[in-house]
Structure 1
Amino acid sequence: MVSELWAPPAGATEPVVSAFARAAGLPGASYDALWRWSVEDTTGFWGAVADFCAIAWDTPPDAVTDGAPMPGTRWFPGGRLNYAAQVFRTPRTGLAVVGHDETGAAGSLTWAELEAQVTALAATLARLGVGKGDRVVGYLPDRPEAIVAFLAAVSLGAVWAGCGTDLSADAAGARLGQLSPTCLIAASGHHHRGRWIDRTADAAALRKSLPELRATVLVGDGHVTDETTLGWAQAIAGTERTQPLPVAADHPLWVLFTSGTTGPSKGVVHGHAGVVVEHCKNLGLHQDVRPGDQYFCYTTLNWMMWNLRVGALLRGATVHCYDGAPTPRALWQVAEQGQLTHLVVSPGYLGATRAAGLHPAADFALGALRVVTCTGSVLTAELHSWAAEQLGPEVLVGSSTGGTDVVSAFAGSVPTVPIRAGEIAVRCLGVNLQAWSPAAEPLVDEVGELVVVASLPTMPLGFWNDPDGSRYRAAYFEDFPGVWRHGDWITVSDRGSVVVHGRSDATLNRNGIRMGSADICQAAEDLPEVAEALVVGIEEPGGGYWMPMFVTLAGGRDLDNDLAATVQAAVRDRVSPRHVPDEVIQAPGIPHTRTGKKLEVPVKNILIGRTGAVQRDAVDEPELLSFYQRVGEDRRRTRGGSR
């Protein structure tokens, strides 16, 4: 039996999930009974969630779903609402958004100030020609202005997409340019490890790469302006106001970008109603977020956790932002300064905290903290136990797994179920999550593919520029027709808990920020010395993450330290400093399928010792696999063990 790290305290305030069960006519139901009802009576459950969360319908829906199977299910058909209207449906007092950065500054917005800035910016955007269905994109750090920009855009019925300023102009343009945006909201830079990173040149380059722009709003100093450009202060200073425009339940809310494992990032489209209902469920019933709580997740605009974190406004909580690097002390200082009730971090951050010799509860004033959620990668039992011991029995330290694809969690914690080391406590309500064998057989206490066998409100409306849905179906429904295959290896226990064993595809997942290999390899391959590159990310025992890049070189050159540093600098400058390879290794060749596709997943399997997972007859040069096998063996030997 896995040891319990936390149990629901006796006499605690009634959790939100228990209040929901009572409102749904199931008072006192166990979590297992509640989950089974939620996946067996889809209409009853999701209708009850919408009622419990007081969805601000302009026009109520005709039904919960139209009854069509995945992937064509339509949620809340006939309904009309707006995400921004849901945020401001109830007058609230106090702070809505708090910004922190590395200088110690903390800009904040009250609920009244947030609404005033959102409505003023929306009126400005409308005057500049932004309307329903247009795309408004952001190139911004994690600051309050990004939240204002998002809410203003979607209040007009425009479609939002954002990238962080940690991405280069090329990397941001490869994503945002797919949308042919009407308006760009861009910042002059961000803070990182004690330095101001000037992005004015990148913002200008990004602007030039978006030919259909009609207007630009610039945040910060140093920008060059012209007749189509407004500064932020000017854009929010007008006295004109707009009210959120009711749109259809499945009207596009935002486009999130997948990591782009083997090609350009795919734009994933989600709708207003599905996101509002799912985020109210996840944040309320699972994370126990209440009005007045203080909620923070370290994230950038590149990651779906930014979008989920904004959803805490739907629950009436204060959302905290952070512009800076997640150094071991930084996020705990945010927790202390903001008197956070909820903190979301990655396993990598907990590991860095431990390695720095910090003791969070002893070194920082965290008396308000109730829930710490770990997400983004696998949380090992050892690190989970350490974190729970450090934070004490009053703090629920849980973990979750989900994805950009559904902009929420498949499995997580809930304040009525004990937490055990190295496990995700429960499958989320409404999520019929299973582990399947290759023969589509449900597995219990065995490793299988993570699948979801019934539709969810935040499953994508589709991919951007995929009019017939073929790319969307191929991404999730090809292996098991009619069933969502997510790309994770998991075990579902007989208690309903979940253990994630890592990605079953080639997505890179460092420090919780997912990135595909295409951008990273391209940065290396653009160097004249590099003929071809392949990069993989590997979860290691103890919570580590190893991301080597293999290169073949042009002109018979051998790799030296200077060239390795040049490759790493190219990735840092052109893509992201968060995804610089740990090592650059010269390889005799890069293996491909016989149709020319790089074998990222098979190479990853070989490096971690799963040699049987590779079909050698499908490889163009199977003799190359022995090289990668030796590299993996050497790595495991030096690490002192194997998977």
Structure 2
Amino acid sequence: MIIDQQADFGAMIWRADPEAIRTAQLTEFRQYVQKQGVDIADAYQELWQWSVDEPTAFWQCFAEFAGVHMEPASGPIRTTDPMPHTKWFPGRHLNFARQLLEGHEGTALLAVAEDGQQTEVSWQQLRHDVAALAQHLRALGVEQGDRVTAVLPNIAEAVTAFLATASLGAVWSICSPEFGPGAIASRFTQLEPKVLIASPGHILSGKDRDNTATLQSVLAEVSSIEHVVWVAGDTAVTEPAIQVPTARWEEIILQDAPLEFTDVEFNTPLWVLFSSGTTGKPKGIVHSHGGALLEELKMLMFHTELRPGDRYLNVASTSWVLWNALVSALGVGATAVLVDGNPTYPSHSRVWEVAAATKTTALGVSAGLIHACEKTGVEASKDYDLSNLKCLQVTGSPLSLDGYRWVYSNVGDVWLSSMSGGTDIGSIFVGGVITEPVYAGHIQVPALGVRVESWDNTGKPTTGKGELVVTDPMPSMPLFFWGDADGSRYRDSYFTMFPGVWRHGDFIEFNESGILIHGRSDSTLNRHGLRLGSAEIYAVVEAIPEVAEAMVIGAEIGAEDYYMPLFIQPAAGFDAERTRADIVAAIRTHLSPRYLPDDIIEMRAIPHTKTGKKLEVPVKRLLQGEAANDVVDLGAIDDAELFAQYAAFARDYLEQRTRAAV
């Protein structure tokens, strides 16, 4: 129930009614644990404390509660090796696809085209298609450990292709078709895949986009590909002439085949997810069948309260880790709602229109989308029937106080489950639970089984703002980075600042109202010796109606200088002089005069990765004199022409600085 739509920062804004708490899966799990003889009270904090104090007991209990089938049924839970060498459930066998496909009936997938057309795929049909494609892949010689890659949008065929690959014990990786040929090739050349599954075109923002030149370029670069499966989808673009053998999806799935699974050891690679490539060559992050399964199910069952028959819509491209969470909804018997095309075309209202039309019960969106809806005056519950919506997940970046207020004023009486995790772990560190209140501007709780803490620079725990660290292993931590033979790149990414402890690279703060994420610690502002997360600047500046979006950079220039520009994208009603004055006043009032930017620069837009992350670190590196091609994979960002404008700004700034020094 909504407590106060306009709650102050840190004040209670929503709480569940007693019946929702009583019947929650989290409550059922706590009771299940108590029946095992564990002495814990009914508070979430006690359940969480037990889950991190007794991790082997927690994960064994959860696997049993969630119905995860492993053979043999008993055995060790984890090895005593320290991070990053810990192995979970060693010697136990399972298959991710088996867990998702067996034992469910009804509608498995609900695919929504950009024009609104809906296509339902039953569990029976999905199992049939997975079996048929798996048979085809097997005939091509695909075996456990081989790589199958795809360039597909968020359509039913992408889900089917993943499950067929996983059923064989082969390794899956996918790129969204919006990626450029260089970005795709830089990922797939690392994997040396045997098969590529792709569509010659895709629908985006009302246009049928031709992918053929991109795919021909990828095939020229990735010489290991021996076979291509063409997926027609909704595109009218025809298949290009290529040198490798091909097959058509629609012909493959006409065949009947038995549904078979290759059960693999728990720590066997399932998929490779790639980092954004904003700080160098994209990292191929490898997750296991068992680790991914346990963490995805835990997130969906307890931190989303997803149940059999629910409908789960996660607004994500196939390249974002949230797509993997969307597919994993099948594991709890829910329907995965797949939205193809641009989810904000022709306006930001489309997300809410689709949620209403599909009777979605749990919706996952980025914080950026919420902020855009607030800026553009979207009135979701007024325009659409959202009565089926129970949970609104928000992730991708910190959600502002105004974002919380907009949700409870314009979406309605829903549980807002704000969360933060990462591609790195394929899960969350902190998130929501329906049994606890929601406090405005705050994430609710640390996730079950995750010993997440805030540490200062000396490695001492603090309840205040500090580095987000995880001090005990999680099942979904990467097995390894692809091609990182000695593990040095993996260790350097997470374990150098605090040896033996996972340092994620975010700023986190715990307080009496919950948890705050202050943005990336590697893009932290250090003005006059005072450190501040960029998210705090955004919370203040983006609350100004005339600012659509902002990006602040803190760049060390040379040995002594520090340059802090603020880039802004103007919104309706923008007046340069007045808006600049409003920005200065807001930062002075809400933060400190020390954080006033050196320059306020109007730009056409703010640059992002394909998954919506602001390009703070790449722009910082531009300002430090690096070339655009060296700081980011241009095919992996949303607008290369826009990024070129930032590169030009950086060159001009550095030239002016050099002339001034002469």
TM-score with structure 1 setting the length: 0.80
1:35 aligned residue (37, 48, 58): 48
Name 2:341's counterpart in structure 1.
Answer: 324
Aligned-partner SS, 1:442 = coil
Q: Partners in 2 of 1:408 and 1:18 — Cα distance?
A: 21
CA distances 1:247-302 after superposition (whole Å, capped 9, x unpaired) = 01000000000122321100000000111111111100111000000001111111
CA distances 1:341-390 after superposition (whole Å, capped 9, x unpaired) = 00000111112222332211111011110000110011011211221222
Aligned-partner SS, 1:181 = coil
Aligned-partner SS, 1:344 = strand
Of 52-61 and 433-442, the range deviating more from structure 2:
52-61
Q: Partners in 1 of 2:95 and 2:147 — Cα distance?
A: 16
Name 1:368's counterpart in structure 2.
Answer: 388
One-letter amino acid of the counterpart of residue 456, structure 1: M
Name 2:66's counterpart in structure 1.
Answer: 53
Q: Partners in 2 of 1:83 and 1:576 — Cα distance?
A: 27
Aligned pairs for 1:269-288 within 5 A = 269-288=286-305
Q: Partners in 2 of 1:580 and 1:325 — Cα distance?
A: 19
1:587/1:181 CA distance change after superposition, 3 Å: closer
1:537/1:223 CA distance change after superposition, 3 Å: farther
Residue 173 of structure 2 is aligned to residue 182 of structure 1: no
One-letter amino acid of the counterpart of residue 418, structure 2: S
Name 2:277's counterpart in structure 1.
Answer: 260
1:437/1:114 CA distance change after superposition, 3 Å: same
1:427 aligned residue (446, 450, 457): 446
Name 1:85's counterpart in structure 2.
Answer: 98
1:70/1:579 CA distance change after superposition, 3 Å: closer
Q: CA RMSD in A?
A: 3.2
Q: Partners in 2 of 1:576 and 1:434 — Cα distance?
A: 29
Contact between 1:168 and 1:576, CA under 8 Å: does it hold in 2? no
One-letter amino acid of the counterpart of residue 223, structure 1: E
Residue 239 of structure 2 is aligned to residue 223 of structure 1: yes
Aligned-partner SS, 1:107 = strand
One-letter amino acid of the counterpart of residue 3, structure 1: A
Contact between 1:65 and 1:75, CA under 8 Å: does it hold in 2? yes
Contact between 2:313 and 2:362, CA under 8 Å: does it hold in 1? yes
Contact between 2:278 and 2:615, CA under 8 Å: does it hold in 1? no
Name 1:136's counterpart in structure 2.
Answer: 148
Q: Offset at 1:627?
A: 5.9
Q: Offset at 1:585?
A: 10
Residue 405 of structure 2 is aligned to residue 405 of structure 1: no
Q: Partners in 1 of 2:191 and 2:48 — Cα distance?
A: 38
Q: Offset at 1:210?
A: 1.4
Aligned-partner SS, 1:129 = coil
Name 1:616's counterpart in structure 2.
Answer: none
Q: Offset at 1:200?
A: 2.1
- Corresponding pairs, count: 553
Contact between 2:401 and 2:539, CA under 8 Å: does it hold in 1? no
Name 2:484's counterpart in structure 1.
Answer: 466
Aligned-partner SS, 2:293 = helix
1:289 aligned residue (286, 302, 306): 306
1:315 aligned residue (328, 332, 344): 332
One-letter amino acid of the counterpart of residue 325, structure 1: N
Contact between 1:537 and 1:545, CA under 8 Å: does it hold in 2? no
1:2 aligned residue (3, 10, 20): 10
Q: Partners in 2 of 1:494 and 1:549 — Cα distance?
A: 30
Q: Offset at 1:580?
A: 10
Q: Offset at 1:176?
A: 1.6
State the identity as a percent: 36
Q: Partners in 2 of 1:215 and 1:223 — Cα distance?
A: 14
Name 1:479's counterpart in structure 2.
Answer: 497
2:475 aligned residue (457, 462, 478): 457
1:500 aligned residue (507, 517, 537): 517
Residue 398 of structure 2 is aligned to residue 378 of structure 1: yes
CA distances 1:313-334 after superposition (whole Å, capped 9, x unpaired) = 1111000111111221111111
Q: Offset at 1:95?
A: 0.7
1:18/1:627 CA distance change after superposition, 3 Å: farther
Q: Which runs of 5+ in 1 are unaligned?
A: 508-535, 551-566, 600-620, 631-643
Of 71-80 and 325-334, the range deviating more from structure 2:
325-334
Contact between 2:621 and 2:631, CA under 8 Å: does it hold in 1? no
One-letter amino acid of the counterpart of residue 590, structure 1: Q
Contact between 2:381 and 2:410, CA under 8 Å: does it hold in 1? yes
Q: Offset at 1:578?
A: 6.7
Name 1:18's counterpart in structure 2.
Answer: 27
1:589/1:381 CA distance change after superposition, 3 Å: closer
Q: Offset at 1:112?
A: 0.5
Q: Offset at 1:208?
A: 2.4
One-letter amino acid of the counterpart of residue 439, structure 2: R
Residue 394 of structure 2 is aligned to residue 355 of structure 1: no
1:475/1:30 CA distance change after superposition, 3 Å: same
One-letter amino acid of the counterpart of residue 5, structure 1: I
Residue 217 of structure 2 is aligned to residue 237 of structure 1: no
Q: Offset at 1:498?
A: 1.1
Contact between 2:518 and 2:536, CA under 8 Å: does it hold in 1? no
One-letter amino acid of the counterpart of residue 408, structure 2: A
Q: Offset at 1:494?
A: 4.2
Contact between 2:129 and 2:253, CA under 8 Å: does it hold in 1? yes
1:581/1:431 CA distance change after superposition, 3 Å: closer
One-letter amino acid of the counterpart of residue 476, structure 1: Y
One-letter amino acid of the counterpart of residue 361, structure 1: S
Aligned-partner SS, 2:102 = coil
Q: Partners in 1 of 2:75 and 2:327 — Cα distance?
A: 28
CA distances 1:115-169 after superposition (whole Å, capped 9, x unpaired) = 1100110001101111110000010001111000000001001000010001012
2:125 aligned residue (95, 113, 117): 113
Aligned-partner SS, 1:505 = helix
1:343 aligned residue (354, 359, 363): 363
Contact between 1:3 and 1:421, CA under 8 Å: does it hold in 2? yes
Aligned-partner SS, 1:352 = helix
One-letter amino acid of the counterpart of residue 24, structure 2: P
